[in-house]
Every structure is written in structure tokens, then in C-alpha cells.
Amino acid sequence: MARVPVAAGIFTWPSDDPRLIGSRCVACGIVTFPAQGSCPRCASTEMSEHLLPRRGRLWAWTTQEFAPPSPPYAGPTGDAFVPFGVGYIELADEVKVETRLTEAHGLRTGMDMELVLVPFRTDGDGNEVVTFAFQPVR
């Protein structure tokens, strides 16, 4: 089975050391994720690619206990659905990233989290679609 990313330009792929792909404003330095073509703070259109740190701290979260409405949700439903966490990870005081979390329970504010790539679903061609998530650092 081939593995494919959920979308192009979100994380480095393929990679043994995956990183989220953000952008940094050349004029004022603000970092965004996902990458943007113009700065949300100063409106400059000079944005450079910026790979985000792999580790950060859990800033806020909730749990998804049932399958979200589809579309846009395209993951497992019914008996195949497994609850997951959704939260924000603060990366090096640069940016907060909204993300899936590998755990739905046992989370606490400020805990160390790291980026991982996880299976999300199987597409119509039989490929394993991979998305990003953050897991507690063990």
C-alpha cells in the first residue's frame, strides 16, 4: 500500500524527520501556519518558507467524541471511528498550530508534544492517506 500526504505543502514529504511547512514574513517576522502568500499583520507579500519546530507545548484542547459532519470530514465513521483530541500546540513562541492529537485523554496544559505523521484513511485508489498530529513526548 502506498502512503500519500493528506494535502501537498502542509508537511515535508517524504521525510524521516517531518516538519510542518509554515511561512515567515520578511518584513515583520510573523510566522504563520499553514503557509500564506501575504502577511496577516502587515500585509506584506514577501513571505518566505519556514519549517516549524517539531516540538511544542499543548496550549488548549478538546476531544472529538463522535465523527464530525461529512463533508468536510473524510475520516472513519460509525464503528470505525475512534475519539481523538483536537488542540493548539504553541511552537517556540512563534505560532500556535491547530492540530489533531494522538490522544483523547490524559492531556494537560503545557505538556510537551511532538509532531508525528499518522494514518488517517484509505483513499479510493487503496493508498494510505497520512496526516499530521501531535503526541505527548514520552
Residues making contact with Zn ion (CB under 5 A): 25, 27-28, 39, 41-42, 44
SS3 132: strand
Min dist CB 41 to Zn ion, Å, is: 5
CB 129 within 8 A of CB 76: no
Residue nearer to Zn ion on the CB measure, 40 or 110: 40
Residue nearer to Zn ion on the CB measure, 3 or 41: 41
Long-range contacts of 40-43 (CB under 8 A, 24+ apart): none
Min dist CB 29 to Zn ion, Å, is: 7
Element spanning 110, H or E: none
Min dist CB 49 to Zn ion, Å, is: 15
Q: What is the DSSP letter of 81?
A: -
Residue nearer to Zn ion on the CB measure, 30 or 107: 30
